[in-house]
Structure 1
Amino acid sequence: MTIKENDFRRIDLNLLIAFAVLFREQSVSLAAEKLHLGQPAVSGSLARLREMFDDPLFIRSGHRMQPTARAMELHGELMPLLEQLQSALFQRPEFNPAQASTTITLGMTDWVEMWLMPQILPALNKMAPGIRLSVVAADPFSDPERLEAGELDMAVSVAAGGPRWLEREALTTMGFTTLWHPQQLALETPLTLEQYVEHPHLLVSYREAASSQIDTLLGKQSLQRRICYTTPHFAGMPGLLATLPALATVPAGLADVWRHGGGLCSSPPPLTIAPFELSLLWHQRHSSDPALMWLRAFIQSRLAAGAASR
């Protein structure tokens, strides 16, 4: 249905409220008391209502004002609409995850998906079986842009800063771990700096860069490592480490997953690398979306529970 804006130019919502109270009380003085207005103001509202609907609406009969047939008709049509409007404006229904049915698009890198989804998806499917997560490959350089464009509902990202509309909720702070396969490299832990630069490295780079902050830190010590392979994906790392005498320095959370499931050895990097913050990002326009805000709290609670159990 197309709304004709000009039809509403003469309508004052307060007049409709006054009409509803007049109909109920059948008295200008009683209606004024209920509306916390003076009697002249309510009488003025009644005069405007009569002009707007071209009908007397209420006829005085003894101490009461009896509604006309037109008033009876209007009351029957308007009251359900006013109740629906009141509910929409002031009585927002509580979100029930068990009954919700929606799809939420999450942007994240492959390593975040491998680390995060096993922690939240089983519980999510039990608590909110109608909420479907659609994960979209993303990177921290494009997350804000894609959130603004509406391509993502939320992003789990290491992106720092951002525009004013970008909302951010820190999920965890994480460091780095260096991995290798014991059948390819016989190394003791912890790794020494000499061992670290002696062996080739695998590097994940989202923008095809041939170095990272690790190389900058090494350069400050007049050292250099040899990067033998660069990729935008983390997923292939375990298989590559199983076939190459190489090292890979990855987020510590992902290293925990691979170490337990892939037979890899690990060590803290022999460098002081600043930890990074992993955050949940969303556009400010979604801050009133009940499903997204519930999912935000759900992810936080699952991660907190996981951290407490470790």
Structure 2
Amino acid sequence: MHISKVDLNLFIVFEAIYAEGSITRASLKMNLTQPAISHALNRLRQLFDDPLFERQGHVMVPTPLARSIIDPVRQSLRGFEVTLNGVERFEAAGSERSFSLALRDVLEASVLPPLMARVAREAPLVGLNTLQVGRRELESELAAGTLDAAIDILLPLSNDIRRTLLATDQTVVLVRRDHPAVRGTLDLDGYLTLEHIQTSSRRRGPGLEDFELSRLGLQRRIRLRCQHYFAACRVVSQTDLALTMPERLARVVNQQFGNQILGVPLQMPSLDIYLYWHANVDADPASLWLRGQINDAVLVT
């Protein structure tokens, strides 16, 4: 079937139902009536000869066919949007646009304060949503435009995803200010005699420092495994446990605790942080502006 015979607005409705999981919420999102959304869905069902969505309780669950076409539909819609925006200038000072940025929670505390300070000065009406997106879904969400950019470590993504190095971080060790066994310096023997906190969102598995220790045939004792560095820093301030973590975040989170920040007494790889975006917004004025704000914000942290 030739594209000229298809109403492309139907695919906007399709994406809205897929994203919202509900005809009611899709109608609110698109500012259309529920009968109008239902009529568009019926036309799509005839076009594809497939129900596309099946009701399960209050949720519209996509069929296998709908799941197979959502990514190319989103990429196509994103391409049209970029083309339309490309003929317009992006005026940050008057824009009311909202950007979505994938950002691991470990980076939020160091990146967001300077970034939002810059955005507030240059674009007082622009909004920013930060999300934690699974790394397997990162490329498809950038392609679909549900994400404008992402900040993460070096990832094995396709050539459709552009990247630039934002910053290089180091690893440090935190112990409480009056730790009885540590006075300003820490060697490897001392590091191994301490009991440690491992901070990770995963239920199990070693940290980067454990990999490096294993290369030397060594192992540390993990006394506590927790999810967030803020909680870990607070535990450090009230116990004799040690915490190994990225230096940039340590300088921010540790301000109210006053723990000692020491060098890691073993060879550790640097922690490289990258900014990612899709090739289809490479020259998009709004994306260029956002990437510039992120780059400048990270440089001052």
Aligned-partner Cα distance in 2 for 1:130–1:274: 40
Partner of 1:173, secondary structure, is strand
Q: 1:117 corresponds to which residue?
A: 112
Separation of aligned partners in 1, 2:116 and 2:221: 38
Aligned residue type for 1:123: R
- Determine the structure 2 residue equivalent to 1:95: 90
Q: Which residue of 2 aligns with 1:299?
A: 294
| Paired AA for residue 267 in structure 1 | L
Q: Determine whether 1:222 maps to 2:221.
A: no
Where does 1:64-83 land on structure 2 (aligned, <5 Å)? none
| CA deviation after TM superposition for structure 1 residue 197, in Å | 1.0
CA RMSD of aligned residues (A): 2.7
Q: Which residue number in structure 2 is paired with residue 126 of structure 1?
A: 121
Q: What is the CA deviation profile of residues 68-113 of structure 1, one whole-angstrom value per residue up to 9, with x for unaligned ones?
A: xxxxxxxxxxxxxxxxxxxx88993332110111111111112200
Give 3-state SS (helix, strand or coil) of 1:111's partner: helix
| Displacement after TM superposition at 1:215 (Å) | 1.4
Mapped partners of 1:267, 1:119: distance in 2 = 25
Look up the match of 1:5: 4
Q: Which residue is 2:168 aligned to?
A: 173
User: What TM-score do the two structures reach when normalised by structure 2?
Assistant: 0.66
Which of 154, 173, 196 aligns to 2:191? It is: 196
Quick one: higher RCO (CA 8 Å, sep 6+), 1 or 2?
2
Q: Secondary structure at the match of 1:93?
A: coil
Equivalent-residue separation in structure 2 for 1:243 and 1:90 (angstroms): 53
Q: Which amino acid aligns with 2:224?
A: Y
* Matched residue, 1:157: 152
Relative to structure 1, the CA distance from residue 112 to residue 275 in structure 2 (aligned partners, 3 Å threshold; closer, same or farther) is: same
The reply to whether residue 209 of structure 1 matches residue 208 of structure 2 is no
Deviations 1:204-243 (A, max 9, x none): 2343333123112212323210112223433322222223
2:229 maps to 234
Measure the CA separation in 1 of the matches of 2:198 and 2:230.
12
**Rg: which structure is higher?**
1
Indicate how the Cα distance of structure 1 residues 255 and 290 shifts in structure 2: closer, same or farther if over 3 A, else same.
same
Q: In structure 2, what is the Cα distance between the partners aligned to 1:229 and 1:143?
A: 30
Q: 2:271 aligns with which of 269, 276, 279?
A: 276
Equivalent residue, structure 1, for 2:248: 253
Unaligned runs of 5+ in 2: 6-82
Identity percentage of aligned residues: 24
Question: 1:143-172: per-residue Cα shift (whole Å, max 9, x none)?
Answer: 335434544221111132212211112111
* Cα separation, 1, equivalents of 2:183 and 2:137: 39
Residue ranges of structure 1 left out of the alignment (5+ in a row): 7-87
What SS does the corresponding residue of 1:236 show, helix, strand or coil?
helix
Cα deviation for residue 295 of structure 1 reads: 1.0
How far the C-alpha of 1:285 sits from its partner, in A, is 2.3
Cα distance in 1 for residues equivalent to 2:230 and 2:136: 20
Give yes or no for contact 2:111–2:297 (8 Å, CA) kept in 1: no
Deviation at 1:141? 5.9
